[in-house]
Amino acid sequence: MRSYPRPSRGLALASCGALVAGLAFLPAGSASAATPVAVYIAGAASNADSGCTVTSGSSNSSLSPKNLVRGHSKGAVNLVTTWTNSGDSTDVTSVTGHYSGKTNLVRKNGAFRSATLTGSGRFNITRALGASSTCDVGVQMENAVEFITKQPTGWFYVTRDTIKGSLTETVVAPGTSLVKPVIFEVYQGGKNKVTQRAFVPKGQYVTALVAGIEGGDFPILNTKNGGSVSRGSSTNTMSAVFVNAGSPLHAAKGSATQFVRFPASVSCSHHTATLTWKAGAAQVLNGAFFANGSKKGFVASPRAGQRTVLHHLSSTADNTITAKLSLKGGGQAAATGLYVPCKG
């Protein structure tokens, strides 16, 4: 029997007493509050088998939710714990740890645009009886940013970049609570980098990004070995961006951009993309335009200010738009832009 349940894989910061549901951040009586809310939190926890108790220090440490100031916040927690086996006073395990991090949130007109969360820390677990200890002590240390914003129709992109012994959590859910999410992931493991995305209609959303480290008696990580477990300072990073439906995931790239301007977005109502020729158009003999590999347009002897409209673009898939130009001097120029879908 455990003295209390092991932290579940889906409740990383809850195990430290720090992760709070989005509704808890709203002013009383304002479940549909229009004011955006954003907080930073951090926590650390140590646990052990039921036969072992805390004889000094504390098994938990947490940083109270801090409102972001101009999109920024940071904080740290320390953990000092001594576990002793109630049936064997020589079976003592000492835990020390420190975890710190920071976050940056960018909003435009109240809507979320981008966010980063970094966290780094270290801990040491020392067992007086080495592998013979029966306390089976483990440690988790994390930080998080959680925010509520009103979003236009578009796409959430979330990327986790982890190191050894990592624990991360991602939640994006409609409304103000962390239920019925459009993105949900808990990751425990080693070095990895993964990006997820989800389409959302216009509305209010709560987003939580969690980054942490763990070690000790966690079977999934197979880390119970010898007298000590140490983790040197290392960094996990969580990042997220929001892209409006039909907008470019990134700016068009290539030499043809000096001759033709790619659209700020594709038309979600007409499924078209309009490119505009720049002043350098006089140097172009002709240009061919493609969407997802299919030829959508051809222009000979373009003029500055002339528009080229590409029709029948996909509404449910990414649109990769490519311009291939032949120059009057005999050279070639090309450029490509990537636009996110208009629908999920």
Q: How many domains does the chain have?
A: 2
| 8: in domain | no
Question: Would you state the structure tokens that stand for residue 226, as one six-digit string?
Answer: 């010898």
Residues 133 and 263 in one domain: no
| 131: in domain | yes
Residues 40 and 113 in one domain: yes
| Residues 110/33, Cβ–Cβ less than 8 Å | no
Residue 301's SS3 state is coil
Residues 233 and 271 in one domain: no
Tell me how far CA of residue 59 lies from CA of 17, 68, 77, 113, 153, in angstroms: 11, 27, 12, 37, 43
Map tokens 């953990």 to a residue: 79
Residues 213 and 320 in one domain: no
| 152: in domain | yes
Going from the first residue of the chain to its last (344 residues), give the mean pLDDT of each consecutive group of 10, the final group possibly shorter: 30 38 35 63 93 96 94 96 96 95 94 95 92 91 94 97 88 87 91 94 95 77 53 80 96 97 97 97 97 97 97 97 96 98 94
| 102: in domain | yes
Q: Which of 214, 243, 272 is the last residue of a domain?
A: 243
Spatial CA neighbour of 272 closest among 319, 326, 231, 226 = 319
Residues 193 and 262 in one domain: no
- By residue range, what is the domain housing residue 319? 248-339
Q: Which of 204, 225, 243 is the last residue of a domain?
A: 243
| 3: in domain | no
Residues 235 and 327 in one domain: no
pLDDT of residue 253: 97
Residues 102 and 160 in one domain: yes
Residues 208 and 90 in one domain: yes
pLDDT of residue 10: 32
Residues 282 and 144 in one domain: no
pLDDT of residue 61: 95
Question: What predicted TM-score, i.e. pTM, was given to this entire model?
Answer: 0.84
pLDDT of residue 34: 42
Burial of 185-208, coded b for 16+ CB within 10 Å and e otherwise, reads eebbeeeeeeebbbbbeeebbbbb
Residue 37's SS3 state is strand
pLDDT of residue 166: 87
Q: In what order do the strands lie in the sheet with 284-291?
A: 248-253, 332-339, 319-327, 284-291, 294-300
User: What secondary structure letter does DSSP report for 5?
Assistant: P
Residues 54 and 129 in one domain: yes
Residues 235 and 255 in one domain: no
| 79: in domain | yes
Q: Which of 188, 209, 243 is the last residue of a domain?
A: 243
Residues 227 and 276 in one domain: no
